[in-house]
Amino acid sequence: MTGRTRMAVAALVLLAVLGGVVLVAFAGNACAGDLPGRPCPDAGANRAVVVTLAAATVGLTVIPFALLAEFAVRRRILYRGAWRRATRRGVLVALAIAAIAGLRLGGALSVPVTLFVLSLAAAVEWFALRRFDLP
């Protein structure tokens, strides 16, 4: 692993931490004057922003750890395409989180739907491994 790769991993971890801080700050301050008789007028937009920030933060967290897991599994060698695979896995996790959170906000989330979203993400990763990553 080169110094540039280490710096990129550290930068992504710090970016994910920053995303978490921004998420907590936004969620804590988004309608601070919310009263029981007067709900927040922008609650729908705030929920969408929180879901987007959460999905992006989780995706940014997964990317460096997926790369480090591949580094450990492949006996401390990063082969060509490792960053692409790690990025793809981070994007898939972010999309799954966003889909599950969107279904939850819409009131359409159930256990079978959740299992379907997760199995769909796993199937996309499986097909991508077979299509793009084999020699």
At 20, list the tokens: 């978490």
Neighbours of 14 (CB within 10 A): 12
Q: CA-CA distance, 14 to 26, in Å (whole number)?
A: 18
pLDDT tens track for 37-96? 777 888 888 899 999 999 999 999 999 999 999 899 888 888 888 899 999 999 999 999
Instruction: Assess whether pLDDT exceeds 90 at residue 2.
Output: no
Rounded to a whole number of angstroms, the distance between the first and last alpha carbons of the chain is: 22
